[in-house]
Amino acid sequence: DKGCGMAQLLNEFDCERTLKNGTYWMPFTANRRVKEHPASRIITSAKGAYYYTAEGKPLFDTLSGLWCTPLGHGHPRIVEALKTQAETLDYCTAFQMANPVTVRLAERIAGMAPNGLDHVFFANSGSEAVDTALKIALGYHRLRGEGGRFRMIGRERGYHGVGFGGMSVGGIVPNRKMFANGMMNGVDHLRHTYDSAHMAFSKGQPAWGGEYAEDLERLIGLHDASTIAAVIVEPVQGSTGVLVPPVGYLQRLREICTKHGILLIFDEVITGFGRMGDNFASQRFNVKPDMITFAKAVTNGIVPMGGVIVSSDIYDTFMTGPKNAVEFAHGYTYSGHPLAAAVGHAVLDIMEEESLISRARSLEIILEEAIHSLADLEGIKDIRNIGLTAAIDLVPASDAPGARGLPLFELGLKNGLLLRCTGDTVSFGPPFISTTEQLQDMVETVRRLIVSVTQ
């Protein structure tokens, strides 16, 4: 080895210094805070359920990356698939040409989705998947002679990525307020379904609150159904701290959409590919949307990929125009990238062969029990869980609401946990390959850290 690789390149590189000077502007990050302690924020390798810092310290990956690495890091079969594909077909022009690896992945993904969702359009991220789905909804209605349906209905506290479409239907105030002048036209929001008075410390779906779906009738009354194209919701709101749909809520949204000719989009960027203990949350909750957006776990986070699974009714509608014309003037240079597709196959193979989705289902019970055992801690306001996800709301500091998370996160780094803390909430989505012991240890460490930050 002549050392011509990355190791050589980084040999004399002072990562801390460059982080300090801000050349690298970090996404969704308090950059100035990083500059104060850059050394603690550098990860140099990862294997299985752990990251390793520059000092070789392991950090348990409590959120599977950003909900995207359920099989853990550095899986040799995935590495091999990536390498082989790079040697065979590293890129294929995405427009007018296809490659068998990607075509077959579309077939496999459609095969995992609820019946009737039979067509897959690829993008490269969750944000792109969402914007693609919104554009499909607009095109669908226009092709059916209902071009007046232009409104999109999102939901308070929803997260649908950061494109202009996803930001507009999203309902997280800090993500919106700086860009208020750039919002998409005609978007409205359902109220969110969280009510701590009725739901605090519930396990799985809250029994109360299904009637929140009637809020859609209110918006239809306000705007008229003839102006509404689609409703988009995450079946479980992930980014705002695992807000679980009350029993009956999603079913009722489905009924109302069907009654009024409105498309229902489930954003399954987090919940797709096993996180809910089923292929998709649509199956867990037994509600069939018209479109499902996916990303993240489909490639185990190793290379970017996203996409939309579309009903036959929608697809067929697009296929009715002039035969030689492009039916949908949309797509990305890297739509259906062969490297991502090859990784997707490896991921699905491993999930199938190692029954990792049923493993996620059995780990759900372990995580539920462990995390709810924290309920008696004084510093905790709520604990929720479903699938292999959970969240804890800390009692906010009286003088600084939303400020509990960052110290908890930083303490986690010192105690072997990479935590996902936002505001006063800490969310969990551990890898499907986690052991019972790892999950129990994670929760016991969290217990200690919470006591220490809330005292």
Q: Which is nearer to ligand PMP, 270 or 341 (CB)?
A: 270
In the chain, the amino acid numbered 262 is I
Which residues in the 290-309 window bind ligand PMP by CB under 6 A? 295
Q: How many residues bind ligand PMP (CB under 6 A)?
A: 15
* C-alpha to C-alpha distance for 266 and 272, rounded to whole angstroms: 10
Characterize the bridge pairing of strands 228-233 and 291-294: unpaired
Look at residues 339, 274, 300, 277 and name the one whose alpha carbon lies nearest to residue 46: 300
Which residues in the 83-142 window bind ligand PMP by CB under 6 A? 125-127, 130
Stretch that binds ligand PMP, among 158-166, 190-198, 273-281, 282-290 (CB under 6 A): 158-166
* C-alpha to C-alpha distance for 46 and 62, rounded to whole angstroms: 13
Please report how close the Cβ of residue 86 comes to ligand PMP at its closest, in angstroms: 22
Of residues 114, 161, 171, 206, which one binds ligand PMP by CB under 6 A?
161
Which residues in the 416-435 window bind ligand PMP by CB under 6 A? none
Residue nearest to ligand PMP (CB): 126
Please report how close the Cβ of residue 237 comes to ligand PMP at its closest, in angstroms: 8
Please report how close the Cβ of residue 155 comes to ligand PMP at its closest, in angstroms: 11
What are the b/e assignments for 198-207, b being 16+ CB within 10 Å?
Answer: ebbebbebbe
Please report how close the Cβ of residue 367 comes to ligand PMP at its closest, in angstroms: 19
Determine if 267 is a binding residue for ligand PMP (CB under 6 A).
Answer: yes
* C-alpha to C-alpha distance for 292 and 153, rounded to whole angstroms: 16
The position carrying tokens 């022009």 is 93
Residues 6+ apart with CB under 8 A from 339: 82, 85, 86, 90, 91, 303
Please report how close the Cβ of residue 344 comes to ligand PMP at its closest, in angstroms: 15
Structure tokens at 317: 């509608």
Please report how close the Cβ of residue 170 comes to ligand PMP at its closest, in angstroms: 8
Please report how close the Cβ of residue 198 comes to ligand PMP at its closest, in angstroms: 24
Determine if 165 is a binding residue for ligand PMP (CB under 6 A).
Answer: no
Cα angle 155, 406, 23 (rounded to 5 degrees) comes to: 95
Q: Which is nearer to ligand PMP, 278 or 411 (CB)?
A: 278
Binding track over 199-238 against ligand PMP, x by CB under 6 A: -----------------------------------x---x
Note whether 236 and 276 are within 8 A (CB).
yes
Q: Which is nearer to ligand PMP, 269 or 450 (CB)?
A: 269
Q: Which helix (H) or strand (E) holds 265?
A: strand 263-267
Binding track over 38-77 against ligand PMP, x by CB under 6 A: ----------------------------x-----------
Determine if 337 is a binding residue for ligand PMP (CB under 6 A).
Answer: no
Determine if 269 is a binding residue for ligand PMP (CB under 6 A).
Answer: yes
Of residues 75, 151, 157, 160, which one binds ligand PMP by CB under 6 A?
160
Name the DSSP letter for residue 245. Answer: P
* C-alpha to C-alpha distance for 192 and 434, rounded to whole angstroms: 31
Determine if 270 is a binding residue for ligand PMP (CB under 6 A).
Answer: yes
Q: Which is nearer to ligand PMP, 66 or 247 (CB)?
A: 66
Gyration radius of the chain over CA positions: 22
* C-alpha to C-alpha distance for 382 and 414, rounded to whole angstroms: 25
Please report how close the Cβ of residue 159 comes to ligand PMP at its closest, in angstroms: 5
Residues 6+ apart with CB under 8 A from 342: 81, 82, 84, 85, 101
Residue 189, φ and ψ in degrees, nearest 5: -130, 135
Q: Which is nearer to ligand PMP, 109 or 366 (CB)?
A: 109
Q: Which residues pair with 380 in a beta bridge?
A: 394
* C-alpha to C-alpha distance for 47 and 44, rounded to whole angstroms: 11
Provide the binding-site residues for ligand PMP, judged by CB under 6 A: 66, 125-127, 130, 159-161, 234, 238-239, 267, 269-270, 295
